[in-house]
Amino acid sequence: MTREQTRSSKAWYNALSRYYDVLVDPFQGRLRRRGIDRLGVSPGDRVLDVGCGTGRGVATLQNAVGSDGQVVGIDVAEQMCRLTRDRLDDEDPSAVVCGDALTLPFDTDSFDVVLASFTLELFEGDHRTTVLDEIRRVLIPRGRICVISPSTASKTISPLYTRLNDVFPTLVDSRPLDVSAVLAEAGFETTQTQIEWALVVPVELVVARCGSRT
């Protein structure tokens, strides 16, 4: 994602924000909840939700970590951040950060767990690597990540989905990836992986641990 792509992604998700829960969440919500279950978040954990959208994941995670834990959602689209803030009981302004996953505004080793639900596929090659490097930096050593993304691993991506991607790249805004392979390349060790379906799209749910930093 170049700076220009960041700008257009931001504009697109700001425009989509008010329809997102009605149009998109019915297909993605079930998989996000399953991914959060797989993460096995514990009370007291510090969790980052990258590309938090309308904040449903942040709300679920807050229940899991309890009052001793901390959940931060980051999103580049201001309207998504506003919807997340409106959803949360939490008055803590640091629970929602409007910012770019390419340059995470957090200290090294700030989080025990990261969720990236339907976010990593928005980034092209080099920028995906940068986002994963940033996630590794802010995660503690052996910290956990769950990535939920359209996958190339099943080899059965529907021709309709491929065609839609070609014709309406902004609308679909998705570059399916081999999630486990991409995570391995970025220095994560996969502990669980599963293919699920969102309509015609194979989606990979992967839980992985941060390998040691060199």
Nearer of residues 23 and 142 to ligand SAM, judged by Cβ: 23
The residue from 88, 97, 102, 195 that contacts ligand SAM (CB under 6 A) is 102
Cα 145 to the center of its chain, rounded Å? 10
The distance of closest approach from Cβ of residue 35 to ligand SAM in the complex, given in angstroms and rounded to an integer, is 9
Quick check: 205 and 193 in contact, CB under 8 A? yes
The residue from 8, 85, 88, 100 that contacts ligand SAM (CB under 6 A) is 100
Structure tokens at 121: 């596929």
Centre a 10 Å sphere on the Cβ of residue 203 and count the other Cβ atoms it contains: 25
Nearer of residues 27 and 211 to ligand SAM, judged by Cβ: 27
Residue 21 lies near ligand SAM (rule: CB under 6 A): no
The distance of closest approach from Cβ of residue 212 to ligand SAM in the complex, given in angstroms and rounded to an integer, is 26
Would you say how long the chain is, in residues? Answer: 214
Nearer of residues 102 and 184 to ligand SAM, judged by Cβ: 102
Residues 6+ apart with CB under 8 A from 13: 20, 53, 75, 76, 77, 79, 80
The residue from 41, 46, 53, 202 that contacts ligand SAM (CB under 6 A) is 53
**Which range, of 1-9, 36-44, 149-157, 189-197, touches ligand SAM by CB under 6 A?**
1-9
Structure tokens at 74: 């980051």
Residue 80 lies near ligand SAM (rule: CB under 6 A): yes
Q: Say how many Å lie between the first and final Cα of the chain, rounded.
A: 26
The three-state secondary structure class of 209 is strand
Centre a 10 Å sphere on the Cβ of residue 106 and count the other Cβ atoms it contains: 17
Nearer of residues 53 and 143 to ligand SAM, judged by Cβ: 53
Q: Which of residues 118-177 bind ligand SAM (CB under 6 A)?
A: 118-119, 122
Structure tokens at 183: 């995570």
Task: List interacting residues with ligand SAM (CB under 6 A).
Answer: 1, 6, 9, 13, 28, 32, 51-53, 56-57, 74-77, 80, 100-102, 117-119, 122
